[in-house]
Chains A and B, each alone.
Chain A
Amino acid sequence: MPISPSDTHDLAVIGAGPAGLAAAVTAADLGLTVALVDAAARPGGQFYRQPAPGLGAARPQALHHSWGAFARRAARLDVHRAAGRVRHVTEHHVWAVTRESAHWAVHAVTGPDGAQGRAEVAARKVLLATGAYERQLPFPGWTLPGVVGAGGAQAMLKAGLVMPGQRIVVAGSGPLLLAVAGSLAAAGASVPVVVEAGGYAGYARAPRTLAANPRKLVEGAAHAATLRRYGVRIRTHSAITAVHGTDRVEAVTLTRLDRDWRPVAGTGVRVPCDALAVGHGLVPQLDLATALGCATRRCPDGTAALVLDGRQRTTVDGVWAAGEAGGVGGAELAVVEGELAAYDLARRAPGGALLRRRDRLRRFAGAMAAAHAPRAGWSDWLGADTEVCRCEEVTAGRIRDAVDDLGARDTRTVKLLTRAGMGWCQGRVCGPAVAHLAGETEPAAGRRLLACPVTLGELARE
């Protein structure tokens, strides 16, 4: 019998990215009924973000690695949907998961922007596959139109076939920058330079981990070849320390950094461009998990991720997690973890090969995270008037005053004194920067009231 919306599903998977999609189809293969809930209209998450059908893309794979594996999984999803084993609940933004007497209730607001209505999904077990969002470190000029997130530029290109400019500098840190620069160049932008604050030497310091992950080496080499083909230079140990232009980007200043990411005086050069795509790695999306009480751990890149056991279980009974929520590690790892979680959820033993692949890829993720982790000196590139909180327009100067003169020692106090992190995004964008300026090692993992914005009207109906 096909499941109906009012039924209690065996499993609710939150997030239909590589991890959630793999988990949902594998769990259904193993006989579970599944609700696959995602904010987006189509499966794929950040990695396999697809052009909307209306754009008629005949070769979406030109913007993706391993599209074939995704397409096969998406086809399996369709089969399970048709058979009534999986309900793909699209355009549902989950704002809370609560424990009821005999099941979990997944509360969502619906529609592309979450403004249409509300819905609830019931399930006996929950798998969190909520992925990650981009970490941003502020710098002078980063609020000027034309400065966009690197992942954001990638997402807008993959989904909408658009770019923010024609001559785009890509900057920040982390492996995503190479993928973004490659896509932008392939799509016709001129990318004069990729600016990486860290370096790639850290990878070489983990030779055994590298040797055990040949696919990752091939991926890296493929990016390098793409960038060479389009004449994209890579500058390591450097950062963008100023953006020029009045109402939009006209040029940026590229400056060398020392080992601690402090800008080296007198090394700035001006690079003309009409857009800048910037990001400093990814941060696991943990709002739902921390609200449920799942324990977190500190990763080598400074971010907080979920504590998981070897079977992808969180510390809360009945709640599993897979993919970047358990630590940033890329799409391949996300898929493996999704499958592993599905086996455990269905009380089946996974193959040893799958377990070994997960452990190998996790080790690689650790080496990668360490190589690109922000170093403390980065905040030296902030001016007193550099905005740190984009929503509330709070400058670095005001935050430093709160810390130096008013004695704020943590994000919460800075927030109360300056309003930094109190705006619409709830500190998602400025969180890591504010925590650093307050002298905390890392923001406490996403303690937000709601995992996504909900109108007062919707809450009043509660």
Chain B
Amino acid sequence: MNRRRRRTPAALVRAAPGPAFEITLDGRALSALPGQSIAAALWAAGVLSWRTTRQSGRPRGAFCGIGSCFDCLATVNGVPNQRACLVPARPGDAVTTQEGHGRADLTV
């Protein structure tokens, strides 16, 4: 039988991840894999934005992917301004869309 496996990132590196677990985005359940950042888990679920900007309220998500642009800020378990591309997803994490400021106590 000719069963060519579909090309996926997981197939490419022959990943055998640990068991998937659940996180939520604004109450909606999503599945995440151990080791994925919150941003990666959201991308895997097809979600590209989880923040709105302070002035025009436009949607934003991960951009630089390495912790330097701060576009991916999310509120995780009630703590605002977390860089979703750096923070690992953990079972039961509640991610909430961050509107505007969150809380601006980062010194820049």
Contacts and interface: CB of A to CB of B under 8 A. Distances in A.
A59 B13 contact: yes
A49 B19 CA distance: 22
Given A55-B17, A160-B40, A161-B13, A457 B8 contact: no
A134 interface: yes
A186 B12 contact: yes
Among A59, A149, A422, chain B packs the most CB atoms within 10 A around the CB of A149
A156 B62 contact: yes
Contacts of A39: 67
Contacts of B56: 393
A149 B64 contact: yes
Interface residues of A, number: 62
B68 A133 contact: yes
A161 B62 CA distance: 15
Given A247-B49, A424-B108, A56 B69 contact: no
A150 B24 CA distance: 28
A187 interface: yes
Interface string B72-107: 010000010011011110000000000000000111
A152 interface: yes
A60 B48 CA distance: 25
A253 to B, nearest CB: 20
Contacts of B16: 56, 58
Contact of A58 (B9, B13, B69): B13
Contacts, number: 185
Which label, helix, strand, loop or mixed, suits the secondary structure of the B interface?
loop
Contact of A160 (B39, B82, B108): B39
A382 to B, nearest CB: 17
Nearest to A428: B68
Contacts of B85: 152, 156
B107 A456 contact: yes
Contacts of A148: 62-63, 65
B68 to A, nearest CB: 5
A434 B14 CA distance: 43
Contacts of B59: 145, 247-248
B10 interface: yes
Nearest to A277: B65
Given A52-B36, A58-B16, A162-B40, A450 B107 contact: yes
Contact of B14 (A52, A58, A188, A393): A58
Interface string A116-153: 00000000000000000110000000010111110111
Contact of B60 (A51, A143, A426): A143
A447 B33 CA distance: 39
Given A55-B36, A143-B58, A155 B65 contact: yes
A413 to B, nearest CB: 19
A46 B88 contact: no
Interface in A395-431: 422-426, 428-429
A214 B32 CA distance: 43
A455 B88 contact: no
Contacts of B55: 393
Contact of B64 (A59, A151, A426): A151
Interface residues of B, number: 55
Contacts of A51: 13, 15, 35
Contacts of A188: 6-9, 11-12
A164 interface: yes
A192 to B, nearest CB: 16
Nearest to A161: B9
A423 B67 CA distance: 14
Main secondary structure of the interface of A (DSSP, over half): loop
Interface in B39-53: 39-41, 43-44, 48-49, 53
Contacts of A187: 7-9, 12
B66 interface: yes
A153 B85 CA distance: 11
A37 to B, nearest CB: 15
B68 A112 contact: no
A370 interface: no
Given A160-B37, A188-B9, A453-B108, A57 B15 contact: yes
A56 B13 CA distance: 9
B89 to A, nearest CB: 9
A396 B18 CA distance: 47
Contacts of B41: 160
Contacts of B39: 156, 160
A291 interface: no
A159 B36 CA distance: 7
Given A39-B67, A148-B62, A163 B107 contact: no
30 contacts: A52-B34, A52-B35, A54-B17, A55-B15, A57-B13, A58-B15, A58-B16, A59-B12, A62-B12, A115-B79, A143-B58, A147-B63, A155-B66, A160-B40, A161-B13, A162-B43, A163-B43, A164-B48, A187-B9, A188-B6, A188-B8, A393-B53, A422-B108, A425-B108, A429-B63, A429-B68, A449-B108, A453-B106, A455-B107, A459-B107
Given A52-B88, A54-B18, A275-B48, 14 more contacts: A51-B35, A55-B35, A56-B15, A57-B14, A115-B82, A134-B64, A147-B63, A148-B63, A157-B9, A160-B35, A162-B40, A163-B9, A424-B106, A425-B108
